[in-house]
Amino acid sequence: MAGPPVNVSLREYGRGVVGGLLFSLPLLYTMEVWWSSFTATPERLLVALAATFALLLVYNRYAGLRQDASWREVAVDSVEELGLGLMIAALMLWMIGQIGDGHASIEVLGKVVLEAMAVAVGVSVGTAQLGGGEERERGMRGDSPDEQRSLRSQIALGACGAFLVASNIAPTDEVEQIAAESPPLRLMLLVLVSLALSGMTLFFSDFRATRPHDSRAEVLRGTVGTYAVALVTSAALLWFFGRFDGSTFTQGAALVVVLGLPAVLGASAGRLLLIGTSNPEHSDGPSNR
């Protein structure tokens, strides 16, 4: 039996990556989870992986993307999601300076496995629940009059989404620690990854309320605009919690960039979720006749 087309698979993976990060970033930025790796034994890590895999099996079987999938297909999907969760967790931990040279192998393994538990579940939920489906194709190309006033509404919804995600992280000491330990090149990498995640979420992952047929200029404008909203929201939250007190401009900019990654996920994915639940044209319910 032939598998799904490549573009469909790529969109599913894109939704999985965004969902995995959206639902797990607070844990990825949590110091207590990092410290847990020092006390996690290999046996405990194996139990954690087995429990996560069992949870993925149950979720994919009864609430996953393909309701008519066999147990074999469910198992394959679960293995892919667990592997993707491990890769995302390892990459994110490296980007924020929590694994790499100077870290013991058992510490690295513990951090990756512990963080990957939440990431893998987020991957599964993001793949199954955040897809747009065929109903997105109806009516999305013809911009309604409301679309002409969408700039202010998109800014407002983006700020709300960024606030919902980033406000859970801004008061923590982890933001300051990551910013202090991140060299300029790593901060630039965080900026590029943030922009890539924003563009992927808004335009390329087939989320609800996305508009995949926009021109390159519109994609660039939407991506950069969303990131700008995320940075402004991040700066406002950091100022409110006193994180700029006594900081130089360079230190403050590093703080904003570090918090900007979770904020831009909230601004883009959160905006789409808010649109999907508030705009009748983008709902899954029956249309008015």
Query: Distance (Å, rounded) from C-alpha 235 to C-alpha 157?
Result: 17
24 shares a domain with 80? yes
Residue 205 lies inside a defined structural domain of this protein: yes
Mean pLDDT of 247-262: 95
Please, are residues 75 and 10 in contact by the beta-carbon 8 Å criterion? no
Residue 142 lies inside a defined structural domain of this protein: no
Range of the domain at 226: 147-277
Query: Distance (Å, rounded) from C-alpha 221 to C-alpha 227?
Result: 10
What's the start-to-end Cα distance of the chain, in Å?
39
Residue 286 lies inside a defined structural domain of this protein: no
Residues in the chain, how many?
289
DSSP-based three-state secondary structure for 66 = coil
60 shares a domain with 122? yes
Mean pLDDT of the chain: 80
Choose the final residue of a domain: 96, 129, 162. Answer: 129
273 shares a domain with 154? yes
105 shares a domain with 156? no
pLDDT of 229 reads: 92
pLDDT digits (tens, 9 = 90+) for 256-273: 999 999 999 888 876 666
Please, are residues 25 and 261 in contact by the beta-carbon 8 Å criterion? yes
Mean pLDDT of 62-67: 65
Sign of CA dihedral 49, 57, 82, 179: negative
Residue 288 lies inside a defined structural domain of this protein: no
Query: Distance (Å, rounded) from C-alpha 32 to C-alpha 13?
Result: 29
How many structural domains is the chain composed of? 2
Choose the final residue of a domain: 103, 129, 155. Answer: 129
Query: At residue 100, what are phi and psi to the nearest 5 degrees?
Result: 145, -155
Query: At residue 207, what are phi and psi to the nearest 5 degrees?
Result: -75, 165
246 shares a domain with 180? yes
Can you tell me which residue has the tokens 């198992």? 75
pLDDT band at 205 (very low <50, low <70, confident <90, very high): low
pLDDT digits (tens, 9 = 90+) for 24-41: 888 888 888 888 888 888
The residues with which 207 forms a beta bridge, in sequence order, are 131
Short-list 31, 36, 37, 29, CA closest to 109: 37
Query: Distance (Å, rounded) from C-alpha 76 to C-alpha 84?
Result: 12
pLDDT band at 148 (very low <50, low <70, confident <90, very high): very low
Residue 117 lies inside a defined structural domain of this protein: yes
pLDDT band at 83 (very low <50, low <70, confident <90, very high): very high
Query: CA gyration radius for the chain?
Result: 20
Mean pLDDT of 159-180: 88
